[in-house]
Structure 1
């Protein structure tokens, strides 16, 4: 009787092992088969604190996996059930369950591309980040204008204006504005080479003054190759104690500028009105790129003190005020009359 019971027990264990083995083989086969083929990609979100069961159910409801229970068992067998990262993912039913699980465990979340052009100021950058769905303009600007933000990033200014480096970035959704801003400032720090700091010191300029001057050069540049010449004009004027008299700085100091600069704007004092103040304004007016920063540090050698737009993206440069007035009549006043 005992032998018979032992035989039955062994038989049951054998059947259980075989069944478990078959189930495991079937599960591994299922894990390497996509739910569908040639299916469109979908944006799938794993919320913070979302459990494995809820995630598996959501995957099944979206048609990304065919069986929520098997997906749950797969994750637990792989000891990955507590390793899934929150975030947004791009999945397709043409992906296998193993591939989907692997992406979530590795946290390969969907990244949103944000391109910041050279010469954008904080307001424009905030709008660009908001358009990508990564922040609101109000929150981004509030953080960017907070002196504590600048202090935490070792910026010797009250805001981060000028230090949000122009580049293409890839961010996951869910980051706060402070993290996005810090990433852009770190990119500035990486781009501002050690020899540039030495050059700034040799010129008697702080990094902040270099960025300020570079931002003006950036905004005045119609043709990129003119940057060193434009820089030479500003350096020459600063050496002679002349006012910079540059419209972009005036515009920066005008609240809600409508795109039309008027004489009253030039005659109204603001800290950024370089027709009224001497020297550089208190800070950058935009984010300069590397070429503008380099031009500020290594201007062309010239005797030019003036330049005027030729209305074709380039400028006419003059050494004397008389030459400049003639150029203004030629390129500006006559065209207005026409």
Structure 2
């Protein structure tokens, strides 16, 4: 048999022409695709590496931090990445100094960490800590503590004493509620003539250049945050609006310095209102005339101010101070007692409570001088 290849026919040429030719990728496209895949792979590895560092180092410990407070750390000029990492670990900001160093090196920012006074919130992730050090988010310039039960004008005096924020500017803005995004009070939006009662007492950290507006905004935000979870529905059971609860709480703050007595003072207020009696709370008169420490005159006590609860029955039109959470809770949950009177019984601030007017007069005669 003859195995010599036969010659191509025209038919063979026809079918060969119809077969698809194998496509060859140009070398340039192959190179570009290779680079793209390489950089995608590098980005993925870096991202996964940073996630691993963050997981490895975890969040802050509470070795030196007190819950709800910040951790102060001073980063000096010239400190190495390792020194900064060890300092942060010692202060309880991070759990692993080696994880901190590895992450900074992975980001290539060993020389970008900025010195300064920092305040790290408890619970920050490692990535957040490094971000702060890279951007230089140093600590605020002023720590300001506003106690419970201070009225707006008293807070203004405190600000003037600190010398950082103008007290008069604070008072002026606090009397203009429409200038601010006022939080709801127990889910309601009361018509306000003042922010008295809603400027939450707490510790605030202010930055250079911050003024009265920034402080008031922070206080309103704190009020919203701290009071959202309160049992505001109890206000309706007491026949009051949530805003009136704030008014009652402000009276409690001014009348009572003993924690265990707050609910009893609240009960006296409600019992006297129910009995159609005046409240007779001199702190409301002091609020009206602006005398927090001076002696009240007969004219003051007999004034026809709507805040004079010696003359006018019911609650004053607005809060007379800015209450804390404890006073608000007492206003929402008064003691189940029939007391109508209380009088100071010692120099430590304890009161004698009674439903008897005669007992009240006797206790008043024996009360220590105020």
TM-score normalised to structure 1 length: 0.66
Corresponding residue for residue 328 of structure 1: 364
Structure 1 residue 330: deviation in Å? Answer: 2.3
Corresponding residue for residue 200 of structure 1: 235
Structure 1 residue 108: deviation in Å? Answer: 2.7
Structure 1 residue 197: deviation in Å? Answer: 1.6
Alpha-carbon distance in structure 1 between the residues aligned to 2:77 and 2:151: 47
Alpha-carbon distance in structure 1 between the residues aligned to 2:290 and 2:254: 18
Kept in 1, the 8 Å contact 2:180–2:217? The answer is: no
SS in 2 for 1:307: strand
Corresponding residue for residue 255 of structure 2: 220
Alpha-carbon distance in structure 2 between the residues aligned to 1:146 and 1:158: 7
Corresponding residue for residue 173 of structure 1: 208
- CA spacing shift, 1:142–1:104, aligned 2, 3 Å: farther
Structure 1 residue 256: deviation in Å? Answer: 4.9
Corresponding residue for residue 143 of structure 1: 173
Kept in 2, the 8 Å contact 1:249–1:281? The answer is: yes
SS in 1 for 2:205: strand
More helix by share: 1
TM-score normalised to structure 2 length: 0.60
Corresponding residue for residue 7 of structure 1: none
The one of 155, 159, 176 aligned to 1:125: 155
Moved more, 141-150 or 306-315: 141-150
Kept in 2, the 8 Å contact 1:214–1:296? The answer is: yes
In the TM superposition, what are the counterparts of 1:286-305 in structure 2 within 5 Å? 286-305=321-340
In the TM superposition, what are the counterparts of 1:54-93 in structure 2 within 5 Å? 90=117
SS in 2 for 1:197: coil
Bigger CA radius of gyration: 2
Structure 1 residue 222: deviation in Å? Answer: 3.4
Moved more, 306-315 or 124-133: 124-133
Where in structure 1 are there 5+ consecutive unaligned residues? 1-32, 38-76, 92-98
Task: Determine if the alignment matches structure 1 residue 308 to structure 2 residue 343.
Answer: yes
- How many residues are aligned here? 250
SS in 1 for 2:278: coil
Kept in 2, the 8 Å contact 1:308–1:328? The answer is: yes
